[in-house]
Amino acid sequence: MPVNPALTALWPAPHASGAVDATVHVPGSKSVTNRALVLAALAAEPGWLRRPLRSRDTLLMAGALRAMGVGIEEGVGPDGSGEAWRVIPSGLQGPTTVDVGNAGTVMRFLPPVATLADGPVRFDGDPRSYERPLHGVIDGLRALGARIDDDGRGALPLTVQGGGALEGGPVEIDASSSSQFVSALLLSGPRFNQGVEVRHTGSTLPSMPHIRMTVDMLRSIGAQVDTPESGGEPNVWRVTPGALLGRDLTVEPDLSNAQPFLAAALVTGGTVVIPDWPARTTQPGDRLREIFTEMGGSCELTERGLEFTGSGSIHGLDVDLGEVGELTPGIAAVAALADSPSTLSGVAHLRLHETDRLAALTKEINELGGDVTETADGLHIRPRPLHGGIFHTYDDHRMATAGAIIGLAVEGVQIENVATTAKTLPDFPALWAGMLGN
Ligand SMILES: O=C(O)C1=C[C@@H](OP(=O)(O)O)[C@@H](O)[C@H](O)C1
Ligand SMILES: C=C(OP(=O)(O)O)C(=O)O
C-alpha cells in the first residue's frame, strides 16, 4: 500500500474547537476479514467476501494466500451491491514466500494453512515480527505432524515444509501470550486428517471474544466445533474434519477502529454515530458501549447505528481488559484526560503486541506531562494537565490513534508516523478530519 510521505513525518493532531457532531463510516473488521479469507481459501467451493477491509494486514493476508495459489478476484458481489472479493480455492502450492509484515493474524493463522501446501512456504516479516511469540503455533503444528525449519526461538522467520496434508489430532499449547495460537490451529482444523483438539494449558488466556469469533465463523461455514461453552471441557476446543462451504459474507465495521471516534464524542462532549454497528457480534470493540458509558458517555443502538454521546465529563475506571486488550491504548488515552485515576489490568501480553504497548503508553503520555506507571499486568493512570509535544508511535497503529484522541483536548500534540494507521485503518487522517468538519 503506498504511504504518503507527508504522513510519515509529524502530523499535527487536530485540536477540537467544540463538541463533535458526526457520522463516521468505519471500514471493515481486520479480524473478520482475515479469518474470512483463510476460511474461504480452505473451502471446497468459491465464496464471496463483501465490504472486506483493505489495509496493510488484510492485503498481506490476501497476497500470501494468492502466493499459495488461491484466487482472490475483485468483484461487486452476487447481488451487484458493494465491493467484494471472490475467493476461489485451489490446491495449495509451494515453494513460495509469505510476507507477514507485523500482522499477528497473518503470522499465526497461515503456518497451519501452509502445512497443507505441496511444498515449502517461507514466512518472513518486519523486524518486530521476529520478536512476537509464535511458539504455540510452531510447537503445536509439530505435535500434529508438521515439519518446520526455524531457529529454535519460537518465532519468525521460518519455513513450513508443506506435505500436502497434516495428520492433526489432539495437541496441548500454552496460549497465554496470544489467543491467536488457538484461533490459528482451529481455523485450519477442518482440513486436517483427524481434525484438531486444542487444549490450552497456560494459566491465563487473553482475548476470548476473538476465539469466539473464530468458532462462530467456522460454524457459519459448515464446520463442527465443540467448545467449553457448548458443554465441553474448560480450555478445550475440538474441530471435526470436514469440507467447508463457499459462503457470501458481509464484513462488519471494525468496532476496535470505531474506538477513536467514540472517544472523540466522550472527550469533546459531542455525538458520534457509527452506522452498521451490529446488534450481535463477537468483536471485542462492542465492549466499548459499556466501558465508555462507565467513563461518562451514553449510547443507544438505533436504526442510524450506534449513537454515542459524551456528557462533557470523563471519569476514570478500574477495569480488567484481558478479554479486550486491543482497546487498551484508546482507553488509556481517554483515561489520561479524566477527572479521576484509572487502573487498567489483565493486559501483560500487550508487551508483545505491535510494540510494548504498556511501556510506549507510559512514556508517551508522561512526556506530555502525564502521570502513568506500569504495573505487572497493566497501567495506573493519574490524570494531570497535559501539554503539547511529539507523540511517538513505534509503528503501532493504536498508538497513533491514541495520540490523536489526546490531541483533541491538548493543543500542540504532533503524531510521529500517523501513516502507521494503514495497518488496519488507512483512511484514518481523512476520517478524523471529516469527523471534525475539516
Ligand atoms: O484473533 C484476532 O484477530 C486478534 C486477537 C487478539 O490478539 P492477542 O490474543 O494476541 O492479544 C487481538 O489483540 C488482535 O488485535 C486480533
Ligand atoms: C494486537 C493487534 O494486532 P495483531 O493482529 O497484529 O496481533 C491489534 O490490532 O491491536
Q: Which of 1-10, 75-84, 106-115, 126-135 has the lowest mean pLDDT?
A: 1-10
84-107 average pLDDT score: 97
Q: Active-site residue numbers?
A: 326
Claim to verify: residue 213 and residue 350 sit in the same structural domain: no
Claim to verify: residue 167 and residue 243 sit in the same structural domain: yes
pTM over 0.95: yes
Residue 438 pLDDT > 90: no
Claim to verify: residue 425 and residue 287 sit in the same structural domain: yes
Final residue in a domain of this structure, among 198, 216, 250: 250
Residue 268, helix vs strand vs coil: helix
The predicted structure's pLDDT at residue 81: 67
Claim to verify: residue 128 and residue 42 sit in the same structural domain: yes
Claim to verify: residue 325 and residue 237 sit in the same structural domain: no
- As a whole number of Å, the CA-based R_g of the chain is 21
The predicted structure's pLDDT at residue 76: 82
- Mutate which of 57, 216, 326 for ligand 1? The one with the most ligand atoms within 8 Å of its CB, which is 326
Rounded to whole angstroms, the Cα distance separating 356 from 134 reads 16
Q: Considering the chain, what is the average pLDDT of its residues?
A: 96
Rounded to whole angstroms, the Cα distance separating 325 from 380 reads 15
Residue list, ligand 1 pocket, CB within 6 Å: 31, 104-105, 178-180, 183, 206-207, 210, 325-326, 349
The predicted structure's pLDDT at residue 312: 92
Distance 325 CA to ligand 2 centre (A): 9
Distance 388 CA to ligand 1 centre (A): 31
Range of the domain at 88: 30-250
The predicted structure's pLDDT at residue 146: 98
The predicted structure's pLDDT at residue 182: 98
Claim to verify: residue 326 and residue 377 sit in the same structural domain: yes
Q: What angle do CA 211, 217, 223 make, to 5 degrees?
A: 105
Claim to verify: residue 157 and residue 306 sit in the same structural domain: no
Number of domains in the chain: 2
* Buried/exposed 169-194: b ≥16 CB within 10 Å, e otherwise: eebbbbbbbbbbbbbbbbbbbbbbeb
177-182 average pLDDT score: 98
Final residue in a domain of this structure, among 232, 250, 268: 250
DSSP for 49-95, please give it: EES---SHHHHHHHHHHHHTT-EEEEE--TTS-S-EEEEE------S
Locus of grid cell 482444523: 189
Claim to verify: residue 402 and residue 426 sit in the same structural domain: yes
Contacts of 61 (CB under 8 A, 6+ apart): 33, 34, 37, 38, 103, 105, 106, 109, 110
The predicted structure's pLDDT at residue 82: 72
Which domain CATH number covers 274? 3.65.10.10
The predicted-structure confidence for 331-382, as pLDDT tens digits, reads as follows 999 999 999 999 999 999 999 999 999 999 999 999 999 999 999 999 999 9
The predicted structure's pLDDT at residue 5: 55
Rounded to whole angstroms, the Cα distance separating 355 from 358 reads 9
Residue 186 pLDDT > 70: yes
Claim to verify: residue 276 and residue 245 sit in the same structural domain: no
The predicted structure's pLDDT at residue 313: 97
Claim to verify: residue 187 and residue 62 sit in the same structural domain: yes
Rounded to whole angstroms, the Cα distance separating 244 from 259 reads 33
Residue 375, helix vs strand vs coil: strand
Rounded to whole angstroms, the Cα distance separating 375 from 74 reads 47
Query: ipTM of the assembly?
Result: 0.99
Claim to verify: residue 233 and residue 262 sit in the same structural domain: no
Final residue in a domain of this structure, among 250, 278, 294: 250
Structure confidence at residue 80 as a pLDDT band (50, 70, 90):
confident
74-97 average pLDDT score: 89
Claim to verify: residue 273 and residue 182 sit in the same structural domain: no
Structure confidence at residue 7 as a pLDDT band (50, 70, 90):
low
The predicted-structure confidence for 222-281, as pLDDT tens digits, reads as follows 999 999 999 989 999 999 999 999 999 999 999 999 999 999 999 999 999 999 999 999
